[in-house]
Amino acid sequence: MASAPPALRLDAGDNSFQLSPGLRYWHDQHANASPEQAFSQAQTDVFAPLPGGNPAFGFQTGAYWFYLPIENMQRDEPRWLLVQEYALSDHLDLYLRYPDGHVEHQQGGDHVPFYNRFVRFRHPNFRIDLPAGTRVELLLRVQSESSMQVPLVLFTPQAFAELMRDTQFANGLYYGIVLALLCYNLVLWLMLRDSSYFWYLLHTLAFGLVLFTLNGYGFEYLWPTSAWLADAAVPISICLALMGMQMFSRSFLDLQARWPAGNIACLVMVGVFGAMGVASIWLPYSTATPIVSRAVLLGIAWIITASVVMLLRGYKPARLFLLAWSMFLIGTTAFTLLAFAILPQSFWTQYGVQIGSALELLLLSLALGHRYAGLRNANIRLVQDANERLERGLIDRTRELRTTLAQLGEANVKLQEFSRRDPLTGAYNRRHFHEALTKALDTSGNKHKSQALLLLDIDHFKRINDQYGHLVGDDCLKSISRSINEIAQTLNGLAARYGGEEFVLLLPGTDARMALQTAETVRLRIQQTIIHSHGHVIQLSASIGVHTIGVQQDILPDEAIRLADEALYRAKHDGRNCVRHSISVA
Ligand SMILES: Nc1nc2c(ncn2[C@@H]2O[C@H](COP(=O)(O)OP(=O)(O)OP(=O)(O)O)[C@@H](O)[C@H]2O)c(=O)[nH]1
């Protein structure tokens, strides 16, 4: 049995008091003690000072009792506000015992509807009347499935109003950042349709919900009368955020293409977190939340591992990504260690998640932009390369096409030439000669020139064939063709093979006398040419019919040929190997 613990004196000058330093606590394992029992135990050593002055005990069963006598020395401040600066405690029972022995009882926590709170504020709070100079005993019973954290602060109404203004501003700033990032990235996602942005949105939205819940805003604004959601929203939203962040990392780091094993690990985690989220609907809060809280560390550790692996593999966007998650890891680790009572309560531990996550969300948004810029630049390079390749290909194809067209043109010229030539002798054929003759007889072009037509037939050629064979006959035809062609060329004329053993010559600017002379020259040349073929020595003769077309004379090609043929017929008839002129001399 020890003496009663000293009272906390609310001396003039201070308008807020942390209760932790003087607070004594007792862990009522079976949660079955009555307030009377607790009041009497509080006078004994059963109630102990907070370990290290820290009001955080981690996840616990049973009930916790906290005791502190208070003596208000401020005459003008008889009314105070007690605030439990942790939003998730389930049941809070406050007992105030006054010197006259009467006990006042108030209830709070998120298992009591939000509207019962004295001040409409995210943290449970109680109005306390502390008459000046009076010792009032404060006894608080806390029972909760969430982490046992009891940071109690006593405020004058004015001090609370000022604090509220500051914290509301800070939280407004935080949710403002989250909301701005959400809207900004939503617009980017709608425009770019890059799945990374979608998963970033999901992660940010779910994560915002986690903090909204943890800070007590969920209970204040979203489910003020639902004790179940006040508990279940924490693990469910954490699981959603975990799934979102795994999917985001998977997409951002391009694991599917760059690290298939890591991709599978990510998907497995998403499945596990999903299953945990579904299980949280039925599992008690005290079971689900510690598991899910540990999963947060696991999830982040995995993302950091994946980022490091991708960085080592030379994937540059992983740098900013790694930095972003490191911020979040530090903040979340601080907060989680606070929940497990390993770290003491401070601004940095209590707001670790907010600070870390705000930095993380900002950096991730930056990283997304950075990655998008990288992808866009890579795309531009690809398009440029493709264009250059296309251009080069086009130039090559055009060059090939030009070459082919030129070759085709040449082939066409050759083909046209072939179509004008006799294949055996190489001389022009009858078709070409006819065209040339038609052109030559067109009076519009040749009005002041006479022209001569020589039609030549080899004498008794059948005998050559019969006697020596066709091959020898062919050689004879070639030889005669050559001779006629040579003469035609010297006279600027045109020679052609007209039929089997018939040849024809068109001599421009030639009158009858000159034509007969030339015909005689041709005849003699043939007669004098000795042909050697297949061991045979052959000498031939030819008969020639001549027709001369006078200046300004209109005559059709067939008619001119007919007249030359008549003359030839006469040459044959006159004994062959001679020249005859047509009867109609121009
Ligand atoms: N080797 C060869 N013979 C040809 C060719 N074209 C026509 N002949 C021959 O030329 C001969 C022409 O004979 P014919 O029309 O009877 O006249 P010919 O024997 O020359 O007697 P004449 O004209 O009356 O002096 C035929 O035997 C044809 O087979 C050819 O390309 N090569």
Kindly report which listed range (58-62, 171-175, 212-216, 341-345) carries the lowest average pLDDT score: 341-345
Q: Is 54 in contact with 195 (CB distance < 8 Å)?
A: no
586 band by pLDDT with thresholds 50, 70 and 90 = very low
Mean pLDDT, residues 196-217 taken together: 88
Of 436, 424, 456, nearest to 520 by C-alpha is 456
Given the CA of residue 473, which atom of ligand 1 is nearest to it? 1
Kindly report which listed range (61-75, 171-185, 356-370) carries the lowest average pLDDT score: 356-370
For residue range 44-81, list pLDDT tens digits in order. Answer: 989 999 998 889 998 889 999 999 999 999 999 999 99
- Residue 190 in tokens: 């709608």
Q: Is 306 in contact with 262 (CB distance < 8 Å)?
A: yes
For residue range 306-325, list pLDDT tens digits in order. Answer: 999 999 999 988 998 899 88
Of 66, 65, 64, 62, nearest to 29 by C-alpha is 62
- Cα(561) to ligand 1 centroid in Å equals 19
Q: What integer pLDDT is reported at residue 368 of this predicted model? A: 82
Mean pLDDT, residues 108-134 taken together: 92
Mutate to test the pocket of ligand 1, among 425, 458, 471, 501 (most ligand atoms within 8 A of CB): 501
The alpha carbon of 366 is separated from its chain's Cα centroid by a whole number of angstroms, namely 18
How far apart are the C-alpha atoms of 373 and 442, rounded to whole Å?
78
Of 7, 138, 154, 133, nearest to 73 by C-alpha is 133
The residue contributing the CA closest to ligand 1 atom 4 is 500
Q: Does domain 168-383 have CATH number 1.20.1070?
A: yes
Residue 478 has pLDDT above 90, yes or no: yes
Q: What integer pLDDT is reported at residue 533 of this predicted model? A: 95
- Cα(559) to ligand 1 centroid in Å equals 24
Q: Does domain 430-581 have CATH number 3.40.50.920?
A: no
Mutate to test the pocket of ligand 1, among 465, 502, 574 (most ligand atoms within 8 A of CB): 465
More confident residue, 551 or 20: 20
- Compute the half-sphere exposure of residue 106: CA atoms within 13 Å on the CB side of its CA: 20
Of 365, 216, 240, nearest to 296 by C-alpha is 240
Q: What average pLDDT is seen over the chain?
A: 90
Q: What integer pLDDT is reported at residue 4 of this predicted model? A: 66
Q: What integer pLDDT is reported at residue 548 of this predicted model? A: 95
Question: CB-based burial of residue 240 (10 Å sphere; 0-12 exposed, 13-18 middle, 19+ buried)?
Answer: buried
Residue 331 near ligand 1, beta carbon < 6 Å: no
Q: What integer pLDDT is reported at residue 583 of this predicted model? A: 76
Q: Is 539 in contact with 429 (CB distance < 8 Å)?
A: no
Mean pLDDT, residues 123-128 taken together: 95
Of 544, 504, 516, nearest to 450 by C-alpha is 516
ipTM of the complex: 0.97
Residue 510 has pLDDT above 50, yes or no: yes
8-155 adopts what CATH topology? Answer: Immunoglobulin-like (2.60.40)
Residue 470 near ligand 1, beta carbon < 6 Å: yes
Q: What integer pLDDT is reported at residue 1 of this predicted model? A: 47
Handedness of CA 307, 310, 311, 312 (dihedral sign): positive
Residue of 360, 417, 501, 502 marked active site: 501
- Cα(574) to ligand 1 centroid in Å equals 19
Q: What integer pLDDT is reported at residue 261 of this predicted model? A: 95
The residues facing 129 across adjacent strands are 79
Q: Is 80 in contact with 155 (CB distance < 8 Å)?
A: yes
More confident residue, 275 or 212: 275
The residue contributing the CA closest to ligand 1 atom 13 is 462
Mean pLDDT, residues 29-49 taken together: 94
The residue contributing the CA closest to ligand 1 atom 28 is 462
Domain residue extents for the chain: 8-155, 168-383, 430-581
Mean pLDDT, residues 197-207 taken together: 89
**Known active-site residue 501:** yes
- Cα(492) to ligand 1 centroid in Å equals 28
Percent share of the chain, pLDDT over 70: 98
The residue contributing the CA closest to ligand 1 atom 5 is 500
- Cα(501) to ligand 1 centroid in Å equals 6
Residue 477 near ligand 1, beta carbon < 6 Å: yes
Given the CA of residue 543, which atom of ligand 1 is nearest to it? 25
For residue range 536-546, list pLDDT tens digits in order. Answer: 999 999 999 99
Mean pLDDT, residues 220-224 taken together: 87
Q: What integer pLDDT is reported at residue 444 of this predicted model? A: 57
How far apart are the C-alpha atoms of 534 and 585, rounded to whole Å?
43
Given the CA of residue 457, which atom of ligand 1 is nearest to it? 23
Q: Tell me the one-letter amino acid at 581.
A: H
- Cα(318) to ligand 1 centroid in Å equals 95
Handedness of CA 216, 222, 226, 230 (dihedral sign): negative
Distances (CA, A) of 374 to 315, 318, 369, 385, 430: 11, 12, 9, 16, 75
**Which helix (H) or strand (E) is 418 found in, with range?**
helix 352-420
- Residue 316 in tokens: 């540059």
More confident residue, 104 or 355: 104
- Residue 170 in tokens: 């800070």
For residue range 251-267, list pLDDT tens digits in order. Answer: 989 999 999 999 999 99
